[in-house]
């Protein structure tokens, strides 16, 4: 909860001041969201201006009904009817709120003496006497277990003896309350010490509550004065000039929860119920091939105002489609959904990921196509594949066709929070579909294992997936239960393998086909791959054997009627995927991969 009052005695309107292109309050809101520590983040305000600022930027904001003297009262009113255990009060004027400090303050509720804690707050050591003696800076003293003894604007303790090595701590205005303690506070009248010092948390001490102080080293800047604002602006412009770059090694998120096994789909309700937020629905995005499949649809645990959206996957997912779905959901519901659940193949899973991201990020999905452009944590999202091979259930991307490119939204917030792998859900997939999507996995392995980005991490996943693919497509067939379970695991491992390396030539060319002709990913890869002996001789040889074994007939001459513009666009799209080429060929790929070469390849397809 971010209490935000427009009038501030020392610096009126400070929360609406511009700070590097965004208002202070919006920056604070986004910083709190970005920590990823909270189920929900709200601004609570008495002001129309602040209300509209957050609302217009797609944020969650609550209007105070009553007048309040302090931030705690304001958030108490807002959470009174919410079902919450811990409420964190983040100051609206702390645009540099960071994860570390909030993690510290939340962490105290998981320690031994947690039962003694009514609320927790944060302090940071200060050493400059000017700051120690500044009445704008609230100091705190603590007992040996870091419970607060007193807060004051005076320097405490008074340093009569200057050689005791006593430390001074500045109180930072971040609180984590048990809801009961917060509601108590709301009901208890102010007493004299609080009134004299004008420090809210003294009220808790006056009523005998225990405040646990966590220590942080991060200083941040509170915007209390115009000078603070100037310092903050400087900090932001410095950050923009010299971003901290130390990303030699990829630091990837993984799907935190996965359940596997025949029939595990029935566990969906148990999995979802702790994630349900009152009044906020679960939205199911389901492949419309299941529209008449009551066997599956009846097992979806629809409750309250949950919603099923059937989506056709005749075409690859588009950014415009994501934008439309997000705006429909926002129009229909007052609350951001409790979760988005995708049930289907790679396209549906990618749509579910994209929608969950766009519910908490402004603008169009097209703005986020690329690497690490997503700012805010996505809504809780669950992936339930009903066909295996794409690796979409485990990947850090969701591939979308946008107005000018086909590219994934690749970010730390993209991967699912939960995946449900039930091999029974893939029963009934047509055999050619099974083959095309399975080959996507096979091609992931070939491209990863033959790429220059290969490393032991990605190799270990790629080799396992490759072996599974061989077992499935040389020894098994599309209707076997064992093949279904194996392909589910192959898809997962293949997805992991490319996450830690990259795909290659087949994907680059197939993205071109998809963009210009709308060719779907699985079949597009198959069309391309048969012509890539030059890049993957052994992989292509095996691929052709598998095509034969399963009597697959692939389309031919699909590029022969392309207009010149279409061909040029296709080449542009393929060449634009630089990391793929760099993985496949190496740093100097531009020497051999020419426009002419791609044209010749496309003309063969």
Spatial separation of the C-alpha atoms in residues 586 and 453, rounded to whole Å: 9
* Closest C-alpha to 35, from 376, 336, 415: 376
Q: Does 350 sit near Fe ion (CB under 5 A)? A: no
- Pairing type for strands 148-152 and 139-142 reads antiparallel
Stretch that binds Fe ion, among 212-220, 242-250, 433-441, 473-481 (CB under 5 A): 433-441
Shortest reach from residue 591's CB to Fe ion, in Å:
26
Per-residue interface string for the shown chain with Fe ion, residues 377-406, x marking contact by CB under 5 A: ------------------------------
Residue 34 C-beta: closest distance to Fe ion, Å:
30
Q: In the block, which residue shows the tokens 């909270």? A: 38
Structural contact between residues 258 and 419, judged by C-beta atoms closer than 8 angstroms = yes
Q: Which residue from 430, 448, 549 is spatially nearest to 494, judged by alpha carbons? A: 448
Indicate the residue among 118 and 440 with the shorter CB distance to Fe ion.
440
Q: How many CB atoms lie within 10 A of CB 300?
A: 18
What is the chain's length? 605
Interaction mask 504-543, Fe ion, x per CB under 5 A: ----------------------------------------
* Candidates 229-237, 380-388, 438-446, 537-545; binding stretch for Fe ion (CB under 5 A): 438-446
The least distance separating Fe ion from the CB of residue 113, rounded to whole angstroms, comes to 51
Among 200, 422, 440, 582, binds Fe ion (CB under 5 A): 440
* Beta carbon of residue 346, minimum distance to Fe ion (angstroms, whole number): 8
User: Distance (Å, rounded) from C-alpha 213 to C-alpha 92?
Assistant: 20
Supply the minimum distance, in Å, between the C-beta of residue 521 and Fe ion. Answer: 6
- Contact letters for Fe ion, residues 240-279 (x by CB under 5 A): ----------------------------------------
Question: How many of the chain's residues bind Fe ion (CB under 5 A)?
Answer: 1
Q: Least distance to Fe ion from the beta carbon of 211, Å?
A: 53
Residue 176 β-bridge partners: 88, 120
Q: How far is it, in rounded angstroms, from Cα 443 to Cα 469?
A: 10
- Does residue 341 contact residue 284 with C-beta atoms inside 8 Å? yes
Q: How far is the CB of 530 from Fe ion (least distance, A)?
A: 16
**Ramachandran assignment for 579, one of left (phi > 0), alpha (psi -120 to 50 degrees), beta (any other):** alpha
Closest CA to 339 of 352, 322, 320: 352
Q: Which CB atom, from 45 or from 390, has the smaller least distance to Fe ion?
A: 390
User: Is the Cβ of residue 440 or residue 582 nearer to Fe ion in the bound state?
Assistant: 440
Taken in order 427, 433, 437, 442, the sign of the CA dihedral is positive
Q: Which is nearer to Fe ion, 73 or 440 (CB)?
A: 440
- From the list 31-39, 220-228, 271-279, 439-447, the region that binds Fe ion by CB under 5 A is 439-447
What's the closest the beta carbon of residue 39 comes to Fe ion, in angstroms? 33
Pairwise CA distance, residues 540 & 571, whole Å: 22
Cβ distance to Fe ion smaller for residue 150 or 371: 371
Residue nearest to Fe ion (CB): 440
**Stretch binding Fe ion (CB under 5 A), from 241-249, 251-259, 297-305, 440-448:** 440-448
The order of strands in the sheet holding 370-371 is 370-371, 406-410, 399-401
**Which residues contribute to the site for Fe ion (CB under 5 A)?**
440
């Amino acid at each position: 909860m971010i209490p935000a009052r427009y009038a501030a005695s020392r610096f009126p309107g400070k929360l609406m001041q511009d700070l590097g292109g965004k208002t202070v309050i919006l920056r604070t809101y986004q910083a709190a969201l970005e920590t990823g520590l909270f189920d929900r983040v709200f601004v609570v305000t008495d002001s129309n201006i602040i209300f509209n600022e957050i609302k217009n930027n797609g944020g969650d904001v609550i209007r105070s009904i009553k007048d309040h003297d302090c931030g705690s009262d304001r958030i108490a009113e807002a959470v009174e009817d919410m079902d919450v255990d811990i409420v964190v009060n983040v100051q609206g004027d702390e645009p540099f709120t960071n994860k570390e400090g909030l993690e510290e303050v939340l962490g105290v509720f998981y320690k031994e003496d947690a039962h003694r804690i009514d609320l927790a707050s944060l302090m940071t050591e200060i050493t400059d006497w000017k700051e120690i003696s500044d009445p704008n800076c609230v100091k705190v003293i603590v007992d040996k277990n870091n419970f607060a003894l007193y807060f004051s604007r005076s320097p405490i303790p008074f340093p009569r003896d200057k050689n005791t090595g006593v430390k001074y701590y500045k109180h930072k205005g971040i609180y984590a309350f048990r809801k009961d303690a917060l509601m108590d506070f709301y009901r208890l009248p102010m007493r004299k010490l609080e009134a004299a010092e004008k420090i809210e948390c003294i009220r808790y001490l006056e009523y005998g509550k225990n405040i646990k102080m966590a220590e942080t080293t991060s200083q941040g800047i509170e915007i209390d004065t115009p000078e603070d604002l100037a310092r903050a602006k400087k900090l932001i412009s410095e950050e923009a000039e010299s971003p901290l770059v130390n990303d030699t090694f990829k630091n990837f998120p993984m799907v935190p929860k996965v359940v596997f096994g025949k029939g595990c789909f029935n566990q969906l309700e148990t999995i979802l119920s702790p994630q349900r937020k009152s009044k906020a629905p679960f939205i199911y995005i389901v492949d419309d091939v299941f529209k008449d499949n009551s066997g599956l649809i009846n097992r979806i645990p629809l409750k309250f105002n949950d919603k099923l959206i059937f989506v056709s996957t005749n075409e690859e997912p588009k950014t415009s489609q994501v934008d439309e779905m997000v705006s429909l959901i926002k129009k229909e519901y007052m609350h951001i959904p409790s979760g988005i659940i995708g049930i289907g193949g790679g396209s549906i899973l990618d749509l579910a990921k994209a929608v969950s991201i766009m519910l908490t990020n402004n603008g169009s999905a097209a703005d986020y196509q690329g690497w690490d452009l997503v700012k805010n944590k996505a809504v809780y999202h669950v992936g339930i594949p009903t066909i295996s091979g794409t690796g979409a259930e485990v990947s850090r991307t969701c591939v979308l066709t946008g107005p000018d490119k086909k590219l994934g939204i690749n970010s730390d917030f993209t991967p699912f929070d939960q995946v449900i792998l039930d091999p029974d859900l893939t029963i009934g997939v047509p055999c050619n579909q099974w083959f095309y999507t399975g080959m996507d996995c096979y091609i992931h392995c070939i491209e990863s294992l033959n790429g220059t980005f290969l490393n032991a991490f990605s190799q270990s996943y790629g080799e396992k997936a490759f072996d599974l693919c061989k077992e499935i497509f040389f020894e098994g067939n599309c209707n076997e239960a064992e093949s279904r379970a194996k392909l589910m695991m192959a898809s997962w491992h293949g997805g992991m393998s490319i996450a830690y390396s990259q795909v290659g030539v087949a994907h680059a060319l197939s993205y071109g086909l998809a963009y210009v002709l709308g060719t779907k990913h699985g079949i597009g890869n198959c069309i391309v791959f048969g012509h890539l002996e030059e890049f993957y001789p052994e992989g292509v040889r095996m691929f052709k054997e598998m095509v034969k074994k399963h009597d697959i007939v692939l389309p031919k001459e699909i590029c022969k009627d392309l207009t010149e513009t279409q061909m040029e666009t296709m080449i542009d799209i393929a060449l634009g995927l630089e990391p793929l080429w760099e993985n496949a060929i190496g740093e100097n790929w531009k020497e051999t991969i020419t426009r002419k070469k791609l044209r010749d390849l496309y003309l063969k397809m």
